[in-house]
A and B are shown apart, each in its own frame.
Chain A
Amino acid sequence: MTADVRIWSVEHRFGDFTALHTVDLQIAAGEFIVLLGPSGCGKTTLLSIVGGFLSPSEGRVLIGGEDMTLVAPKDRPTTTMFQDYALFPHMSLEANVGFGLRMRGVGRRERREKALEMLDMVGLADKAARRPHELSGGQRQRVALARALAVSPDVLLLDEPLGALDLKLRRQMQLELKEIQRRVGTTFIHVTHDQEEAMAVADRIVVMNHGRIEQCGTPEEVYLSPRTLFAAGFMGEMNRLPVTPEGSGLASPLGPLALAPQTGALCLRPEDIGLEGDFSLGRARLSEAAFFGSHHRCHFTPLAAPELRLIAHLPQGAHPEIGAEVELFARNPIILPEAAA
């Protein structure tokens, strides 16, 4: 059970505040899409519009080719997994998972079978008679997933579903979510503000900010070739240097750089700066270093611009010494226009 979703020039206003500015998005059937952005970026508003809990001020929502803009949540082929799970505390897990089927008039026996099957899928078949308050956070999350999937929706909407879990559990649940999504083939639209979570689960990430889509692409695309400064900064740590053309190269606070002339911000990921690379960043002093297991996270103060700080990940085997002066190199430069704002 799966369907594609088409969001057509959707705009949403709360009073004077515009939460979404003309958003267009096409989601393929069976895709795992993550809406990523800081709080207030409009991602939850967009999810609510797809789920039918808000009607957009402008635009249309098509699911499986049918216009669903004004269809009530219960009549849409979508189900939502809520941030607080909204498990019914007065019902057993089995009754919770079977609720949607009961509403659809499915008989008791069939309901029970399906509920147990769903609980089994999330590894909780032995707890079918329990009440939600007897479960841990991770288990409740699984029940909420089972309940939402029990009615075989075409599209599952997940509103920060892992937000209430601790880090370790969250990483584990991300894997499970991805696995279950592959198995059932339902289109998943997942909202989060955690970029690592987005990369862990998404087929495509939609980066949002101030009610607009900044970029939409696979995790690699968004991480390696961000299209806006916001997308670049939100997807992970980034060193930024203002640059202007100078002769056949670039002028920067670090001095001239051997790159094609352009105006904007030079963006370098920490792992792209090191003791070797495609072009030189000049000499710098190591001011701080910490060992992170897979790499050393180092702060460098460029000699040409002591007020700046460059963050670089040096390989595990390096032996950074604080105070040492080295020549830094970089690779994979990305130059983006400065944001208008």
Chain B
Amino acid sequence: MRPRLGSPLAWIYLAAMFTFILLPVITLVVFSFQDGRLPVPPFKGATLDWYAKVLSDRAMMEALGNSLLVAALSAFVSLLLGFLAASGLARVLLPGSVLMRGLLIAPMTVSYLIIALGLLQMFNQIGLRPSLLATGIGHVVINLPLCFAIIYAAIGAHQRNALRAARDLGAAEWQVLLYVAAPMLAPSLAAAYFLAFTFSWDEFIIAFLLTRFDVTLPVEIWSMLRSGLSPETNAVGSLVFLVSVLIVVTLELSIFRKARK
């Protein structure tokens, strides 16, 4: 039997890659506590001043609120549309099913920049001003394929039969969706929602092009970058990172763990 732990080379490689992967994030977080004006070595001691500064920055807090709002709502709309479409397409073989699936998935393979540019021009023509609404619409465009794909993949033969059984037992269409499909697919629905939420929460280019006065957090951070490196930016970045990591860890501990059982 060969030993399970293999050669030291594997462990050296693992350590090197982890350093490469985690170095920027660690640097970001560490120097957000920098007691000095520049977030670069040497580390001059710890302070929470920069966090205090961020939390009392009104523009930043407004952007944070906007981001949460857009992420929550756009993720919900993506989830709803994706769920309905997935249950419809998984249920019957419609003429043109392949084409429909293709159309629903297509935005996934298109650069966000192109989607943003197209929407910008169309909104200009119909007179919809750059706004959080415009950004939210854009975020649904990019997250709908994701939600659809996750939910569609979760509907297997077993789920299909359960839905058929529900209809056979006299459930109306909405009852099938509400009482059978949604609870049965709950782990995938939650995963889809939170992924869509994080993607929207992080998204920059669509928000950059489709907002003007009310901006989202990544756009606000972007404008901070113009003033160069600052521990304040580190502090914002660390906070944003923390939120995303909390969501991922919660998902990992609750839904995915349950789903695997």
Contact = CB atoms under 8 A, between A and B. Distances in A.
Nearest to B1: A55
B2 interface: yes
A55 B1 CA distance: 6
B1 to A, nearest CB: 5
A72 B2 CA distance: 8
B3 to A, nearest CB: 11
Interface in B1-47: 1-2
A122 interface: no
A54 interface: yes
B148 to A, nearest CB: 27
A69 to B, nearest CB: 10
A70 B3 CA distance: 12
A54 B1 CA distance: 7
A19 to B, nearest CB: 15
A72 B3 CA distance: 12
A54 B4 CA distance: 12
B208 to A, nearest CB: 44
Contacts of B2: 72
Contacts, number: 5
A72 B1 CA distance: 6
Nearest to B2: A72
Contacts of A54: 1
Interface in A58-78: 70, 72
Nearest to A52: B1
A120 B208 CA distance: 66
Contacts of B1: 54-55, 70, 72
Interface in A11-40: none
A67 to B, nearest CB: 15
Contacts of A70: 1
A280 to B, nearest CB: 53
Contacts of A55: 1
B18 to A, nearest CB: 29
B5 to A, nearest CB: 16
A221 B1 CA distance: 37
A26 to B, nearest CB: 24
A46 B36 CA distance: 67
B162 to A, nearest CB: 26
B98 to A, nearest CB: 21
Interface in A210-235: none
Nearest to A55: B1
B4 to A, nearest CB: 12
A161 B1 CA distance: 24
A55 B2 CA distance: 10
A151 B159 CA distance: 45
Contacts of A72: 1-2
Nearest to A73: B1
Interface string B194-206: 0000000000000
A46 to B, nearest CB: 16
A93 to B, nearest CB: 29
Interface in B173-189: none
Interface string A298-320: 00000000000000000000000
A70 B2 CA distance: 10
Nearest to A70: B1
A54 B2 CA distance: 10
A154 B21 CA distance: 50
B127 to A, nearest CB: 55
A15 B170 CA distance: 52
A97 to B, nearest CB: 26
A52 to B, nearest CB: 8
A87 B1 CA distance: 23
A76 to B, nearest CB: 13
A91 B2 CA distance: 27
A339 to B, nearest CB: 35
A68 to B, nearest CB: 13
B44 to A, nearest CB: 51
B2 to A, nearest CB: 7
Interface in B109-163: none
A169 B47 CA distance: 74
A329 B171 CA distance: 58
Interface string A109-152: 00000000000000000000000000000000000000000000
Interface in A140-173: none
B192 to A, nearest CB: 30
A270 to B, nearest CB: 38
B141 to A, nearest CB: 36
B113 to A, nearest CB: 37
A70 B1 CA distance: 7
Top 5 closest pairs, chain A to chain B, by CB: A55-B1, A54-B1, A72-B2, A70-B1, A72-B1
5 contacts: A54-B1, A55-B1, A70-B1, A72-B1, A72-B2
